[in-house]
Amino acid sequence: MRRFAYCKVVLATSLVWVMLDMFILLYFSECNKCDDKKERGLPGRDDALSRPRDGPGEGGKPVVIPKENQEKMKEMFKINQFNLMASEMIALNRSLPDVRLEGCKNKLYPDNLPRTSVVIVFHNEAWSTLLRTVHSVIDRSPHTLLEEIVLVDDASERDFLKRPLEQYVRRLEVPVRVVRMEQRSGLIRARLKGASLSTGQVITFLDAHCECTTGWLEPLLARIKQDKTVVCPIIDVISDDTFEYMAGSDMTYGGFNWKLNFRWYPVPQREMDRRKGDRTLPVRTPTMAGGLFSIDRDYFQEIGTYDAGMDIWGGENLEISFRIWQCGGTLEIVTCSHVGHVFRKATPYTFPGGTGQIINKNNRRLAEVWMDEFKNFFYIISPGVTKVDYGDITSRSALRQKLQCKPFSWYLENVYPDSQIPRHYYSLGEVFSYTANKEIRTDDLCLDVSKLNGPVMMLKCHHLKGNQLWEYDPQKLTLIHVNSNQCLDKASEEDSQVPSVRDCSHTRSQQWLLRNVTLPEVF
Ligand code: UD2
Ligand code: MN
């Protein structure tokens, strides 16, 4: 291994502006929050359960707000960061389309499936979305399989979620318990409380703005009975603007990027092949979105529930995903099960302590415990994150030890070979990695040349080598673009500040120090 003492990747400084722009954009779009604490005095209108079958939103249709109400609609939108006015117009038991694949509709499941508790945590949720979640569970689950619904109130500040909620759920035909956190604890600890107070053999977690569709539960429970797998439904999209119900795809699965954001990616060919092309069979997924899944109660205990050191929101979804896979389990999307969820563009509630702080802390906890040296990909792309205090992780590391979980490299190799994180790399610098495929890469972007003597650009990696193939010469310190045989050249002060490729001249502006370079002998 070669190590450079003054290991700064000069390349990084020259190109950093490209990334900076992206950070700024992403940071502000993800952290946009709204403190509107206005109360809506409701428990729904009395007719909310008996609206006509051609009423607003029936059949999952979009709700259109008349022109004269648009101003009011915009005001109300801020309360929950979705179209609350539309939601309130829709019946709490509206009808939905059957979006399942044909092959799912007549599948038969065993009679003696395990019973589930449904745990729903919420903080300042709207009445209509919360109760529509509850009604959809009750109306579309066989009651023999439904032990109870547990609603965990994470210290909401809205009166209608106190006594009115308790009174309302008392008259429902399935036992519904309302449990309160004493103080704002975040969704992770709220779920832990709900799980510990519930009694079903299976625990099913849902967000508080979901709608379950026909036949959603049986395939989840059947899969757990068969194999103790952790299972997620396909998450359909309920529009935050119109509450239209839109089927999610069975052709996407869960992944993540260098920033440890959960992302959807296409199901790769190897997973289609493994299922012999049968799209009604469960998809093995590297990660779960986080909010909607079922798990056997004993298995949840056995693999260490959640990391209770995580606050408010974020990180727990990747943490449990890595843990399941690395510690010998399986995580799947059961494509015959569909549940809708209102995806929002911004978060409606506060993050005590600051959004960035909290998410970074949670992400650091999961990176430190589960990702081994690959945590550096996260640290490199998240400036300042290593300064965030992540608290004590001894008990989580001990859990990993006790369960004899496999290394993260095993996970990348066997579960997520199409990951944005390269399994093999020669160098990891301030911003970029030099991968074993000889790409200069950050996240899913690769250094790309489209013009001789021209500026280089960061474009989506295509893995075809071609114009994204670079040879590093550790003696001459040059990065040669193989196709053009030109050298990567630092931007000069006068021109555009973008590095370009130029004829190799062996000048200082074409020398690049890669950090911690480990190159094979043949190189
Ligand atoms: C996604 C998940 C969510 C969770 C999150 C990462 C889906 C559909 N949603 O974000 O479940 O895994 O990623 O952490 O997969 N809540 C509390 N206390 C809080 C904050 C939130 O109880 O302090 C509740 C909230 O009311 C909601 C649930 O937690 O019912 C999830 O929060 P979200 O809807 O804001 O998260 P989402 O869907 O953006
Ligand atoms: Mn949600």
User: In this structure, what CATH number is given to the domain that contains residue 391?
Assistant: 1.10.8.460
Residue located nearest, by CA, to atom 26 of ligand 1: 122
Residue located nearest, by CA, to atom 29 of ligand 1: 187
Q: 226 and 368 share a domain? A: no
CB 390 within 8 A of CB 346: no
* pLDDT at residue 19 greater than cutoff 80: no
In short, whether 340's Cβ falls inside 6 Å of ligand 1 is no
In short, whether 412's Cβ falls inside 6 Å of ligand 1 is no
pLDDT tens track for 24-79: 333 333 333 333 333 444 445 556 787 878 899 999 999 999 999 999 999 999 99
pLDDT tens track for 485-506: 999 998 776 665 678 999 999 8
Tokens of 129: 């979305």
- Give the position of tokens 């950050």: 442
**Is 389 inside a domain boundary?**
yes
**Is 19 inside a domain boundary?**
no
Q: How far is CA 230 from the centre of its chain?
A: 16
Q: How far is CA 390 from the centre of its chain?
A: 20
pLDDT tens track for 99-118: 999 999 999 999 999 999 99
**Is 29 inside a domain boundary?**
no
Q: How far is the CA of 298 from the centre of ligand 2 (A)?
A: 26
Q: How far is the CA of 137 from the centre of ligand 2 (A)?
A: 16
In short, whether 153's Cβ falls inside 6 Å of ligand 1 is no
Residue located nearest, by CA, to atom 6 of ligand 1: 314
Total number of domains in the chain: 3
CB 12 within 8 A of CB 431: yes
**Is 200 inside a domain boundary?**
yes
Q: 259 and 337 share a domain? A: yes
Q: 338 and 365 share a domain? A: no
In short, whether 123's Cβ falls inside 6 Å of ligand 1 is yes
Give the pLDDT of residue 50: 76
* pLDDT at residue 331 greater than cutoff 60: yes
**Is 452 inside a domain boundary?**
yes
Tokens of 309: 């050191």
Residue located nearest, by CA, to atom 14 of ligand 1: 314
Q: 395 and 496 share a domain? A: no
The residue out of 321, 342, 363 marking a domain boundary is: 342
Among the bound ligands, the one closest to the CA of 347:
1
Q: How far, in Å, are 114, 188, 295, 441, 521 from residue 452 at the CA level?
A: 64, 52, 55, 20, 30
In short, whether 348's Cβ falls inside 6 Å of ligand 1 is no
Judged by average pLDDT, the poorest of 138-142, 173-177, 471-475 is 471-475
Q: What DSSP element (H or E) covers 458? A: strand 456-460
Among the bound ligands, the one closest to the CA of 340:
1
Across the strands, what pairs with 205? 119, 293
Residue from 82, 230, 313 to probe ligand 1 pocket by mutation (most atoms less than 8 Å from CB): 313
- Give the span between the Cα atoms of 6 and 4, in whole angstroms: 6
Question: Using CB atoms within 10 A of its CB, is residue 522 exposed (0-12), middle (13-18) or buried (19+)?
Answer: exposed
Tokens of 293: 């899944």
Q: How far, in Å, are 122, 206, 353 from residue 158 at the CA level?
A: 11, 21, 21
Chain mean pLDDT for the chain: 90
Q: 179 and 82 share a domain? A: yes
Alpha helices, DSSP H only, in 228-354? 269-274, 297-302, 316-326
Residues 6 or more apart whose CB falls under 8 angstroms from that of 453 comprise 486, 500, 501, 502, 503
In short, whether 339's Cβ falls inside 6 Å of ligand 1 is no
In short, whether 254's Cβ falls inside 6 Å of ligand 1 is no
pLDDT tens track for 284-298: 999 999 999 999 999
Q: 447 and 375 share a domain? A: no
Across the strands, what pairs with 212? 339
CB 496 within 8 A of CB 489: no
Q: How far is the CA of 108 from the centre of ligand 1 (A)?
A: 33
Q: 296 and 439 share a domain? A: no
* pLDDT at residue 1 greater than cutoff 60: no
Residue located nearest, by CA, to atom 23 of ligand 1: 186
Residue from 187, 232, 236 to probe ligand 1 pocket by mutation (most atoms less than 8 Å from CB): 187
User: In this structure, what CATH number is given to the domain that contains residue 488?
Assistant: 2.80.10.50
How many CB atoms lie under 10 A from the CB of residue 45? 12
pLDDT tens track for 434-490: 999 999 999 999 999 998 998 899 999 999 999 999 999 988 999 999 999 999 998
Q: Which atom of ligand 1 is nearest to the CA of 348?
A: 35
pLDDT band at 518 (very low <50, low <70, confident <90, very high): low
**Is 367 inside a domain boundary?**
yes
Nearest to 20 by CA among 469, 497, 451: 497
Residue located nearest, by CA, to atom 24 of ligand 1: 122
Q: 336 and 212 share a domain? A: yes
**Is 21 inside a domain boundary?**
no
Nearest to 134 by CA among 173, 98, 182: 173
Strand order of the β-sheet with 425-428 is 425-428, 433-435, 440-442, 445-449, 456-460
**Is 13 inside a domain boundary?**
no
- Give the span between the Cα atoms of 478 and 473, in whole angstroms: 5
Q: How far is the CA of 43 from the centre of ligand 1 (A)?
A: 22
Residues 6 or more apart whose CB falls under 8 angstroms from that of 105 comprise 98, 215
Q: 404 and 439 share a domain? A: no
Positive/negative CA dihedral, 210, 257, 15, 467 = negative
**DSSP annotation of 100:** S
Q: 460 and 410 share a domain? A: no
In short, whether 449's Cβ falls inside 6 Å of ligand 1 is no
Q: 338 and 359 share a domain? A: no
Q: How far is the CA of 309 from the centre of ligand 1 (A)?
A: 17
Q: How far is the CA of 207 from the centre of ligand 1 (A)?
A: 6
In short, whether 289's Cβ falls inside 6 Å of ligand 1 is yes
In short, whether 358's Cβ falls inside 6 Å of ligand 1 is no
Residue located nearest, by CA, to atom 13 of ligand 1: 290
* pLDDT at residue 164 greater than cutoff 80: yes
Q: 84 and 129 share a domain? A: yes
Q: Where are the beta strands (DSSP E) in 166-320?
A: 176-180, 202-206, 210-212, 230-238, 245-246, 252-256, 262-266, 283-284, 293-296
Domain residue limits at 381:
355-415
Q: Residues of the chain with pLDDT > 70: what percent?
A: 89
User: In this structure, what CATH number is given to the domain that contains residue 172?
Assistant: 3.90.550.10
Q: Where are the beta strands (DSSP E) in 22-173?
A: 116-122, 146-153
- Give the span between the Cα atoms of 254 and 428, in whole angstroms: 25
